[in-house]
Every structure is written in C-alpha cells, then in structure tokens.
Amino acid sequence: MCGIAGVIFRDGYGPVGQVLVEMLGALQHRGFDSAGVAVYNCIGSRDGDTYILRTVTADVVGALGKVTTALGEMGADIRSVEMKPVHGLSFDRFVIKYRGSLRDLIDAVNKTGVAKVISIGRCVEVYKMTGLVSDLEESFNVSALHGSHGIGHVRFSTESTVDLFHAHPFQSTLNPDIAVVHNGQITNYWKMRAFLERQGVSFLTDNDSELIVHYIAWLLEQGYSLEEALKRSVRDLDGPFAYIIATPDAIGIARDRLGLRPLIAAESLDGNVIIAASEEAALHAASRLLGVRFHTRYLRPGQVMVWRLEK
C-alpha cells in the first residue's frame, strides 16, 4: 500500500513542489518507508546535451574529487556543482554537458565507491529519501520548487529493499526525462524484465516499479504515443497496480484491468490544473492549498488518461 500523487499546470508554471508536499502529506498513512518527488521545468529547458545529475556522496575526504574525475574521464564537461549536506551525506547537483551513454555515465559514478546517482535528466530533478514527507521537506525544501508538473510517492515496502535507491520516483536511461510512481505489484515482473533486457534495457534495482518506466520508455522509442503506451501496459502488465507517469510535456495515469488499486483524477474548472492521487484526501489538500475547485473523475478498471502542457 503506497501513495501516489501528480500535478500538472498546463500553462507551464506553478508551485509544483508545494502541491506535491501537501498531497503526499495527506497520503502519509499509506507508507512510511520513503518519500520522493520528480519536478519538471521543461519550458525553455537546456539543450539536448545538457543534463542535471544528482548524486548522493559519502562525507569522506576526496569523495567529490573522485566523482568529478569519473565524470571527466567519461567526457562530461562539468558546468556547475552544488553540494547539500544531509545527515552525514552530501546530496550533490552537477550540471554537465555530455553526449555519451547515460548508462555508462551512471555506472562510472557508481563505481567510484563513494557516490551513487539518484537521478539524471534534461529538465527533471528527483528528490527522494527514506523516511517521511516531512523529512524530505526538511532536507530539500521541496515546497519551494516551481515548474510545470511533477509526481510524488510515499512508500510502504512489500518486497524489495528499503533504501534511497528503491524509493520512487524511478527513471529510465532510455529517456531520462520520463519518471514513474507506482502503487501495487507487477506479478509478471521477471518475464517482462527478461523481455526488456533482451531489447538492451538495463535495470538498476529489483523493484518492480522500475519495470514500468522502462517499458513505457521502450514503447515510446518504438513510436507509440503516450496514450498507446499506457493502454499497452495495462494489457501486458499483470497484477494489481495504479501508476502516474510524467514526460517532459505530459502526465499520464493508468489503472490495472481489474481495478484492484485506487486512482482518482481531478481537473480545475478552467482546465489549467490537473491533479491525480490514490485517495480523495490528497485532492482535497491540493484544492485547499490552491484555492481552486476541481471536477473529480474516478478511473475505471483498465482506464488510462493523459494531459499535456499547452505550451
């Protein structure tokens, strides 16, 4: 039982972080293991070779030097570095120019032994940690983050490890600006994972939620639209699930064929703001915060929905 939330301001800008914190706070009872958000700011974003790389680095002498050396050896041109100490670790943010394989770059950083990659993207940044939504907010001031859209998650672990890297949201190295949050289980995980690995897709964890983002990213690479990819995922993935997925210009939601996991969406009366979550409590929290009235929709079993930015 996890809690998922998403918001999109279709005109391209709004208090995404604050909305997600309020929504996730209302869903906190659904999971206490970890919390995380992905916030998008893609309008007027950087060129295709510029990435935001976020890492967690050990607080030891020379650690940052090892990471910058690894990035340099991979051909990454470091444009800026910001360090954020949290509980004896450093959450570092690099802006880099890079044209090579993202998976190779991630492997190079992870192999330093002093740092691991949390996220990489052109116009998305992921903030996540073990603990509560309040811990996430205290550490990273998520409420101050503005953007066009975002997704969030509170986790109750039923299978895989509880740590920073099994926390949601998950990204795909096929397209790093796609992220997903998920509630439920994918019961044909190993079969679908084997299929994707035969297509050359690499997995970073054994969390079944990671499968969803890789599968959608792979379908998009094959030429499917986001709506088509979501519909195919509902057909091909087994088990009880609901998920919210974000791309640079859209948010999509999907519910399993039997409707075994809840998912609710709501649209403001002017059509500019759309929110989605596991429970109505999160929608009410967003409505109170924004002072906006919403028209609520309950997803039917097997239903998918997509909303895009207007710009």
Check if the beta carbon of residue 68 is closer than 8 Å to that of residue 81.
Answer: yes
Q: Is 310 helix (H, G, I), strand (E, B) or coil?
A: coil
Question: What's 299's DSSP letter?
Answer: P
Dihedral of alpha carbons 286, 290, 291, 294, sign: negative
d(CA 224, CA 238): 20
SS3 of residue 94 by DSSP: strand
User: Which residue among the candidates 2, 4, 7, 266 is catalytic per the annotation?
Assistant: 2
Closest-CA residue to 15 (of 31, 45, 37, 44): 37
Give the DSSP letter of residue 169: P
Three-state DSSP class for 100?
coil
Asked whether the beta carbons of 175 and 122 are under 8 A apart, the reply is: no
| DSSP helix, strand, coil percent of the chain (3-state; round to 5) | 30, 35, 35
Whole-angstrom Cα distance, residue 68 to residue 279? 43
CA-closest candidate to residue 291, choices 273, 265, 308: 273
Name the one residue in this structure whose structure tokens are 């192999």.
111
Known active-site residue 2: yes
Determine the Cα–Cα distance for residues 63 and 308; give it in Å rounded to an integer: 41
The dihedral through the CA atoms of 237, 242, 246, 250 has a sign that is positive
Helix axes 133-140, 16-26, angle to 10 degrees: 160
Q: Report CA torsion sign: 119, 166, 220, 74.
A: positive
**Which residues does the annotation mark as catalytic?**
2
